[in-house]
Amino acid sequence: MTPKERQRLRRLHAYERAAWEGGARFICGIDEVGRGPLAGPVVACAVVIEQPLRLQFLKDSKLVTELRRAELDKSIRAQAISVSLGWVDHEEIDRINILAATKVAMNRAIEGLTQAPCRVLVDALSIPGCLYPQTAIIGGDRKSAAIAAASIVAKVARDAYMTEMDALYPGYGFAEHKGYSTASHFDALDRLGPCKIHRRSFMPVVSPRFRFMYESTAS
């Protein structure tokens, strides 16, 4: 690892280091993936660490290639004290809305941890009902190592799920775009109509008039 990369990783642990120095031993980073797609679940991940992650190239999942994400996912699971995923499917998203579903997924991820955290670092949001002290960090997946790690594990898990859905619902291209609002996805909706895992509460799914409002993302 180069000196420059070591310095970057040290900066990325600034929130964690402050929490450790304040007496918190187990630090949990939480992030989600899948708020923007037109199909499939929203997935949150909680990652608990008690020392810095020694992971070259650790950063926000959107800034890492698919191959590197897979490698980092294995290393994060090996170095973390506990890793947990929380899932909310398309039907529950339609019932309670995507923001509420995101917070439910985060709570489920926390509930699945085998080690209770002393401090929770969350990307952007505050989690209602969280039993532990929490800090919401705007742009946290680029400012916190634990949140960046959570973003990677969540994305690897959701991408794998959507690839499985591609085999169950052929023709939509889920393995390629993972449910996001790409031109090819809109073309498939025009040809085939929505499938079982599409989010009916997302207007571009049921009305082409709203599609100009959506841009393809991978967050």
Task: State the Cα–Cα distance between residues 202 and 105, nearest whole angstrom.
Answer: 18
Query: Tens of pLDDT along 202-216?
Result: 999 988 877 776 654
The fraction of the chain above a pLDDT of 90, given in percent, is 92
Q: Which residues are bridge partners to 86 per DSSP?
A: 44
- Whether the Cβ atoms of residue 48 and residue 79 lie closer than 8 Å to each other: no
- Whether the Cβ atoms of residue 59 and residue 29 lie closer than 8 Å to each other: no
Task: State the Cα–Cα distance between residues 43 and 216, nearest whole angstrom.
Answer: 18
DSSP 198: B
What domains can you pick out in the chain, each with its CATH number?
3-158 (3.30.420.10)
Q: Which residues are bridge partners to 119 per DSSP?
A: 27
Predicted structure pTM score: 0.94
Task: State the Cα–Cα distance between residues 4 and 172, nearest whole angstrom.
Answer: 43
Query: Tens of pLDDT along 76-93?
Result: 999 999 999 999 999 999
Token pair 């969350």: residue: 122
pLDDT recorded at residue 211:
76
Instruction: State the pLDDT confidence band at 123, using cuts at 50, 70 and 90.
Output: very high
Q: Give residue 147's identity as a one-letter amino acid code.
A: I
